[in-house]
Structure 1
Amino acid sequence: MNIQYTKIHSGLCTFDPRTKILLLAITVFAATIAPSLRHVWLLVLFITLFGCTCGKAKRSLCHLIFFALFYLLTLYVLSLETGVVYTMFVAWMGLFYKVYPCAMLAGIILSTTSVNEFLTAMNKAHVSKGICIPLAVMLRYIPTIQEDWHYIKDGMRLRDVSLSFKGFIHHPGMTIECLYVPLLMTASKAADELAIASVTRGIENPHSRTCLIQIKFRIQDILVIICFLFLLALNAGEIGGAL
Structure 2
Amino acid sequence: MFTGNNTSIIKADPRTKLLILVISMIIPLKCVTVFPSLVFAALLCVMLFLEGEKYLSVICFCISIIIMCLYAGAVKGGFGSVLNMICMSVMVLIRFFCPITMALLLFTKTTDMSHLISSFQKMHLPMVFVIPFVVLIRFIPTIFDEWDGIKKAMLFRGIEFKLKSFITKPAQIIEYTMVPLLFCSVELMDELASSAMARGLDSNRKRSSYVEARLRVTDYAIILIFAGFLAYMFFIYQQ
Cα offset for 1:104? 1.7
- CA separation of 1:237/1:160 partners in 2, compared to 1, >3 Å: closer, same or farther? farther
Alignment partner, residue 133 of structure 1: 131
Aligned-pair identity (%): 22
Instruction: Tell me which amino acid in the other structure corresponds to 1:218.
Output: R
- CA separation of 1:135/1:37 partners in 2, compared to 1, >3 Å: closer, same or farther? farther
5 Å-filtered alignment, 1:16-27, equals 16-27=13-24
Q: What is the aligned residue count?
A: 233
1:10 aligns with 2:4: no
Distance in 2 (CA, whole Å) between partners of 1:75 and 1:182 is 47
1:102 aligns with 2:100: yes
1:194 aligns with 2:192: yes
Q: The residue matched to 2:209 in structure 1 has which SS?
A: coil
Q: The residue matched to 1:78 in structure 2 has which SS?
A: helix
Q: The residue matched to 1:171 in structure 2 has which SS?
A: helix
Query: Contact 2:27–2:230 at 8 Å: present in 1 too?
Result: yes
Query: Contact 2:34–2:72 at 8 Å: present in 1 too?
Result: no
Instruction: Tell me which amino acid in the other structure corresponds to 2:64.
Output: F
Query: Contact 2:151–2:160 at 8 Å: present in 1 too?
Result: no
Cα offset for 1:153? 5.9
Cα offset for 1:156? 6.6
1:50 aligns with 2:47: yes
Deviations 1:149-201 (A, max 9, x none): 554566677778777xxx53x43356955766655554444333222211222
Cα offset for 1:40? 1.9
Query: Contact 1:27–1:228 at 8 Å: present in 2 too?
Result: no
Q: The residue matched to 1:85 in structure 2 has which SS?
A: helix
Cα offset for 1:32? 2.3
Distance in 2 (CA, whole Å) between partners of 1:159 and 1:226 is 57
Distance in 2 (CA, whole Å) between partners of 1:61 and 1:172 is 38
Query: Contact 1:51–1:108 at 8 Å: present in 2 too?
Result: yes
Alignment partner, residue 40 of structure 1: 37
Alignment partner, residue 31 of structure 1: 28
Cα offset for 1:210? 0.9
1:89 aligns with 2:87: yes
Distance in 2 (CA, whole Å) between partners of 1:108 and 1:17 is 10
TM-score, length-scaled by structure 1: 0.80
Instruction: Tell me which amino acid in the other structure corresponds to 1:67.
Output: S
Larger Rg: 2
Residue 115 of structure 2 is aligned with which of 114, 117, 134?
117
1:171 aligns with 2:169: no
Query: Contact 2:135–2:193 at 8 Å: present in 1 too?
Result: yes
Distance in 2 (CA, whole Å) between partners of 1:149 and 1:113 is 25
Structure 1 residues not aligned, in runs of 5+: none
Distance in 1 (CA, whole Å) between partners of 2:82 and 2:100 is 29
Cα offset for 1:57? 1.9
- CA separation of 1:119/1:172 partners in 2, compared to 1, >3 Å: closer, same or farther? same
Query: Contact 1:120–1:211 at 8 Å: present in 2 too?
Result: yes
Distance in 1 (CA, whole Å) between partners of 2:65 and 2:158 is 34
RMSD of the alignment, in Å? 2.9
TM-score, length-scaled by structure 2: 0.81
Structure 2 residues not aligned, in runs of 5+: none
